[in-house]
Every structure is written in C-alpha cells, then in structure tokens.
Structure 1
Amino acid sequence: MTDFISNLLYDFLIAFGVTFGASIFAGLGAIINDHPPLKTMLNVASSIKIWAVAVALGGTFTSFQVIEKGLLKGEFRSVIKQIIYILIALTGANLAYSLIKMIQRSSKLWLE
C-alpha cells in the first residue's frame, strides 16, 4: 500500500513539475525574445499538460498495456490503479496550469 501512495505522490509532483517548470522556462525564453512572458507561459502550460501526464506515467504505452492486460485477464485491480494514477497525474498538471493562470491574473493587480 505504501508503494501505491508513494507512486501517487511521484505521479502528481512529476506532472506538476513538468507543467510548471516548462512554463517558467518558456517565460524566461519569452523575456529573452522580447515576447509577452505571461501569455507565453499560459500557452505552454495549456499545451504541455497531456505530455506532463505521459511523462509522469513513464510513457503512455505502459499504461495502455497494463489496462489491456487487466481487462483481458480479469485483473481489474491493476486497471483501477492505473486509472487512479492517470487521474492523479492529470490533477497535478491541471493544478500547475491553474497556478500559472493565477500568476497571470495577479499580475493585473500588481500593475494597478
């Protein structure tokens, strides 16, 4: 059970870190290229979420293989675990996207 919980934590934080980190570095690149950094950060965060989930799960094919094996061999416990891993990774990526959106919204307050 502790392996399951630690894997959930890893999946969440990896998906969060990929989304947030990519957005931050894209913002730095936008500053260097004289583009609007917050808009660039939001665009990158939006488009990279699905890739962050794939990275957190260790590649998409392993997840599909576990789900396929679980459905064909009747191992529904592994299918449920894999679905939970996917949902947790999605939550991490979406939370990072929401944080970037919050930073963009709060920038309007800082400018006033």
Structure 2
Amino acid sequence: MQRLLIVFFISLGIILGGSLIGSIGATLAKESPLKSMRELSKELKLWAVVISIGGTFSNLKLFEGGLLEGEILLVVKQFILLITGFLGAQLGIWIITILTGGN
C-alpha cells in the first residue's frame, strides 16, 4: 500500500510540476502559458508513469520473468503499479485542465 501511494504521488507531481515549470518557459518564449500547461500535461503522461514505477529495465525484467516463469502474483503487482501510475498522471492532467479552463 505504501508503494502504491508513492507511485501515485510521484506521477501526479511529475505532471503538475512539469506543466508548471514548462509554462514558465512558454511565457519567456512569449507563448500562451495556459495552453502550454495543457499540452505539456498530456505529453508528460507516459513519462510520469514510467518514472513513477522506477523507470528502469529491471521492472520490465520482473514483468517478463513473471510471465515466462509463471509468477502470476508478480505480474499482478506490476500491473497494479502501472495502473496506479496512470491514475496519478490522469489526476494531474485533470487538475491542470480544470485550472487552465480547458476542455
């Protein structure tokens, strides 16, 4: 349960922080910061999930080993971590969309 919370909030933080800091760069480049925040939040989604679960090949090897060696519990745990990362990233996108008045 502790690991799930960490994964969730890491992916949420990557979306919120990356979008906010990226919008500062857009402001300096004389672009719309709100539009930039919305676009960045969507572009960062996959990266947020990968980074939140560890972002290394060892996680993929665990997944592969679980499938090939029949360790279903290990595969289920990795799948739950992935879903948790996606949920955190999706919440971040939703928050950014609401704050910027987007669709």
The TM-score range, normalised by the shorter chain, is: over 0.9
Uncovered stretches (5+) of structure 1, i.e. residues with no partner: 107-112
Q: TM-score, normalised by structure 2?
A: 0.93
Uncovered stretches (5+) of structure 2, i.e. residues with no partner: none
Q: CA deviation at 1:49?
A: 0.5
Distance 1:98 1:63 in 2: 27
Q: CA deviation at 1:62?
A: 2.4
59, 75, 79: which one aligns with 2:75? 79
From the two aligned structures, give the one with the greater helix fraction. 1
Q: Give 2:85's aligned residue.
A: 89
Correspondence 1:31 to 2:27: yes
- The aligned length equals 102
| One-letter code aligned to 1:36 | S
Pairs within 5 Å for 1:99-110: 99-105=95-101
Kindly name which structure, 1 or 2, has the bigger radius of gyration based on alpha carbons: 1
| One-letter code aligned to 1:69 | G
Q: What's the secondary structure of 2:18's corresponding residue?
A: helix
Pairs within 5 Å for 1:42-61: 42-61=38-57
- Aligned residues with identical type, % of pairs: 34
